[in-house]
Amino acid sequence: MGPLSGLRIVELAGRGPGPFAGMMLSDMGAEVVRVDRPGGDRHVQAPDPRLELVVRGRRSVLVDLKHPAGADVVLRLADQADGIFEGFRPGVVERLGVGPEVCLSRNPRLVYGRATGWGQDGPLAAAAGHDINYIALAGALEPIGRAGGPPVIPLNLVGDNAGGMLLAFGMVCALLEARVSGRGQVVDAAMVDAASLLMTQFHGRRRNGTWRDERGTNYLDSGAPFYDVYETADGRYVSIGAIEPKFHRQLFRRIGLDLAGLAEPIAHADWPALRARLTTLFRTRTRDEWSALLLGTDSCYAPVLGLAEVPTHPHHVAREAFVDVGGVPHPAPAPRFSRTPGAVACPPPAPGDDSAKVLSDWGFTPTEINGLTGAGAVH
């Protein structure tokens, strides 16, 4: 029912951006078949593979790509697909016999997505790395943190997940173009590029003199006291984002902060004193007491919720922001569409859950399936 309904995508299973891209494409209605491999590393993250939520919405085929017949299975799937994507280091899929050159020679309309850390070329292309390394080189790690302290790691959101979004976006762009031209192409989606794109506005601000290189001294990096988090009386935290004067004036009035001696705009030199006053004030009430006073106003306020609290918060409940998938709450597909809404097609599969059914649906005969499983090419 989603806007990508009718598209067939093959996902060569990996970690990092690939699974996130596969989730996004599946949530939007594409039929995504995930090709897992024997001895894969999914269990590193989730001892129960059905709790690896990011793998939701797909069926899984377990294929040994090192088996002589394994590559042929993938090639035959790609022959019938609109797109395929992988997340190996450059050159790996070529050595396995399922690289873009051979796939596109068989299916010229195919879109071939490639997710890597450093990209398909450049002096670092073949080097190992993880999210933290890619965002470091992109300049996205250095500005995050408190003044006088080291950079703070923003989970793996800025490299892995942003890279997955870049891959999904690139796949959809190329799929749209292929409908016009009748020709597929290769999509090079590098996590270092995704992180660099996210920093575009900050490159501009630095050039025009509105961004300081010193960490924790700017409006958006914990430098400004009216854009920060504060501890409350019960040891929890609240977030304040009242950058504009009309918003922080309302915030200060509601929390009872005396504005005497503070001129507008609030000078950078006054930030430390204001922070000290806000720190003391927010420790006088609990997080939920502050929420009762501020949430829903133009004070630019929200409580800092833990993961366990998020699904049951009234705002998320009202928007049905979480959906039940096999008894487990999942963040709902996004963005939302008025006519062709996305949906989670199925719970996360265990590797190989659907091997025989998928191969049958994609044109393999029972004799072929029995031969492949008997030979150990498919599990």
CA gap 272, 99 in Å, rounded? 56
Q: 160 catalytic, yes or no? A: yes
Give Cα 13 to chain centroid, integer Å: 16
Of 64, 82, 160, 193, the catalytic one is: 160
Choose among 90, 88, 167, 160: nearest CA to 131: 160
Q: Where are the beta strands (DSSP E) in the chain?
A: 8-12, 31-36, 59-62, 83-86, 111-116, 185-190, 227-231, 237-241, 301-303, 322-325, 328-331
Pairing of strands 328-331, 322-325: antiparallel
DSSP string, 233-299: TTS-EEEEE--SHHHHHHHHHHHT---TT--SSPPGGGHHHHHHHHHHHHTTS-HHHHHHHHTTSTT
Q: Are 299 and 242 in contact (CB under 8 A)?
A: yes
Of 67, 72, 79, 130, the catalytic one is: 130
Q: 330 catalytic, yes or no? A: no
Q: Please list the active-site residues.
A: 130, 160
